[in-house]
Amino acid sequence: MDREKKLTMSQDIQQTRRQIFDELTKVVDPEIGVSIMELELVDKVDISINKVNIDLHLTSPFCPAVFGFKIAQDVRDNVYKLPGIEDVKVSVSNHFMADAINKQVNESPFPAKT
């Protein structure tokens, strides 16, 4: 691959990364009304062409599961709506309902793209 094409791909990934982080900033913990980015709940974001994997934890291992579901679903839906993104997988850890949250969120249908 020539240098110019690599540079363009790198710039595309950086732009996508910025868009993803902008969307993650919009996701708010419904219990306290603060962005998950401000709370530093996002542990890892992996971007591979048109797929994104996001690892996050919740504010506490025993925070209400309904809030955990809402946060994880909002993360997945917001990032999926970005142009060029075809798949998003969210992985919640360190929560008593993590397995159930991950299963429900990742198996739910994606929202329509606008």
Whether the model pTM is above 0.85: yes
Report the pLDDT value the prediction gives residue 12, as an integer from 0 to 100.
81
Token reading at 52: 């994104």
What average pLDDT does the structure give for the chain? 91
Could you tell me if 76 and 88 are in contact, meaning their C-beta atoms sit under 8 angstroms apart?
yes
Instruction: Assess whether pLDDT exceeds 50 at residue 7.
Output: no
Domain 3-107 has CATH 2.60.40.350: no
Domain residue ranges in the chain: 3-107
Distance from C-alpha of 31 to C-alpha of 39, rounded to nearest angstrom: 12
Closest CA to 66 of 97, 35, 108: 97
Report the pLDDT value the prediction gives residue 113, as an integer from 0 to 100.
83
Predicted confidence (pLDDT) per residue in 56-85, tens digit = 999 999 999 999 999 999 999 999 999 989
Distance from C-alpha of 70 to C-alpha of 43, rounded to nearest angstrom: 18
